[in-house]
Amino acid sequence: MGQKRLKKMLVTGAAGGIGRAIRTKLAPLADIVRLSDRAGLGQAAPHEEIVYCELTEKDSVDNMVAGCDGIVHLGGQSVEADWETVRDSNIEGMYNLYEAARKHKVGRIFFASSNHVIGYYPQSQLLDAQTPPRPDGLYGVSKAFGEALASLYHDKFGIETAIVRIGSCFPEPVDHRMLATWLADDDLISLLECMFEASRLGCPVIYGMSDNDVVWWDNSQVAYLGWKPKHSSAIFKEMLDAKIERPHKDAAVSVYQGGVFTEHPIMEKKPN
């Protein structure tokens, strides 16, 4: 990576799975990395700041964003849940974040959207950046809202956002579906480098996947960013074949890009 682009980069959801995986690799992207979550961030390294924040608390979000010139938004509800939980974290929280970004003139944001925005498409169909949403649950609906909000704030206020429909960012694929959706954390870091260094970003939809042999998604429309993933899930195929029986061809995990998320019921909020 060349000269650092950012003076202070905010990372929301830094205590989550992806946040923990990439935390130690973020230093080259910014002079200061401000980490935020509800809890669980431990001690700050010399180049880090820690700010605890609830995304639903507008004033706290405003304070969290103040002084930052780039945002990596990983925060929010990360799996299917009841409507109230999804709405509060991924809709109200997303609005609060973009309003704070507008007020504090943050020019560029990485938004961790999800493959569950397009989860009801069949695995046999190749999707690109122009493919309309077909969410597979309330979580996917909330991410589709986030994509629309990012588009609005780009068109109306000029805030550039990389809308990244993340596949499966794990140390290695844990099932055969992930042979298509796997995103290595090093490839995610290289995407962050590309999107923050690009002279022009805009508001593109990017599929968050490594250079896998099984391909459901086409990123050719964002070739201008120069992002070239270097890892592939192919090295895990033999291990998965030996460890896990392939699911039946008619099972949801074999038919739909969103896998088992298409089978989840609409959840109701549990009483306190």
- Mean pLDDT in residue range 158-172: 98
The per-residue pLDDT for range 66-86, each reduced to its tens digit, is 999 999 999 999 999 999 999
Q: What is the pLDDT of residue 247?
A: 95
17-50 confidence digits (pLDDT tens):
999 999 999 999 999 999 999 999 999 999 999 9
Token readout for 25 is: 């690799």
pTM of the predicted protein model: 0.96
**pLDDT of 71:** 98
Q: Which residues are catalytic, by number?
A: 139
> For position 4, what pLDDT does the model report?
58
**Structural domains in the chain plus CATH codes:** 6-263 (3.40.50.720)
Q: Does position 151 have pLDDT exceeding 90, yes or no?
A: yes
Mean pLDDT of the chain: 96
pLDDT at 2 over 50: no
pLDDT confidence tier of residue 5, bands split at 50, 70 and 90: confident
Tens of pLDDT, residues 214-270: 999 999 999 999 999 999 999 999 999 999 999 999 999 999 999 999 999 999 988
For the chain, what is the HEC assignment?
CCCCCEEEEEEECCCCHHHHHHHHHCHHHEEEEEEEECCCCCCCCCCEEEEECCCCCHHHHHHHHCCCCEEEECCCCCCCCCHHHHHHHHHHHHHHHHHHHHHCCCCEEEEEEEHHHHCCCECCCCECCCCCCCCCCHHHHHHHHHHHHHHHHHHHHCCEEEEEEECECCCCCCCCCHHHHECCHHHHHHHHHHHHHCCCCCCCEEEECCCCCCCCECCHHHHHHCCCCCCCHHHHHHHHHHHCCCCCCCCHHHHECCHHHHHCCCCCCCCC
Contacts of 105 (CB under 8 A, 6+ apart): none
